[in-house]
Structure 1
């Protein structure tokens, strides 16, 4: 049996390159609504958006308000008069079409799916995240997808973790690992829900002083040695042998 029977994955910044997807979707949105599709506009939007998502994690704003408010604030900065509701709808439609997958993702999921239950736990809009998972071709590897917009709770709230584990009938949290790139949403959130955590430090950031992950990795394939037993590790990359389960 694997060391961890269930692995919860964050999506953006962990499996999918959200920066690339956001860049393309935002430029298309700005051009469509006749706004300046410049680097400065993009930086302004990202500062607004990042600030609002941080507020969401602190419980200061609801997600349905956030997704419209970011375009309201952008209009205020640019002096625009476009409908922020329409802008958000268009942006989300463009975002759902983009699935920029990190290179090692499919191999990692293929190997881990033979020894553990794999689940997505993501902050975001459900139809957008599902669309991106489908386009990326990795949706079949997961036994469940839990998105904050559908669940009604956002990471780091333990409610979204509880909802996922309850739905899957998983009771032993010592055998569950949360994997993600956000120290607050994934590491602190997972730990508060009684889970071991793995920080995806893909950008070689300094080790945090407060949030202490159980593990830290710089490449997703390092999860093999964390999740698998020795016998299972011996079968990694061997197409003729299945892992022991």
Structure 2
């Protein structure tokens, strides 16, 4: 009975710790969100997000809102998503702080760099999509449209497209982290990954063809970084494996 009671108390304490970490993560996101609403403001944030599309439209053209509440809700959603992205390091830190007590010292040397690199790589993928891909994609779409069509994107459809693209690029930029984890867990070796490099390249182009719009520029913009990040993962994986190995036991 004593062991059962002790186990139950331990389980409850873990739940309490998990609740506290989730609350702290949510508070961090809320603080960033409140700061963004204060400055620069939801409307300005959406204008900045819409800039690549507006730059590809004729001078003076604007986007449209077909829903009654869309002019209010869409900028709010954009601000919330941006707050979550900016808060990723804090959110990942809370996840790290929750699992860290159950890890050995050599395991902590692996997890903390992965937590930091995951958030930075996701942000890099989103930034790469916004600053490099959007302008070229929207320019291609606007030039491809027949002269009889007036291109006036709806703000809700535009938000859905932008969020899906940013999520796709942010997720694909996590390739080095995935490679390191697979190698460290012993699921696959670096030598095996190197042997299937041609298939990985074909897979990267296939994913890019499905995720991105049907133009060569955006497809290459996603496929080439995926291939390079895969190679980066192959270089870093052996380093992480050596660093995170358990120290040899004393005879």
Query: TM-score, with normalisation over the residues of structure 2?
Result: 0.25
Structure 1 or 2: larger helix share?
2
Query: TM-score, with normalisation over the residues of structure 1?
Result: 0.25
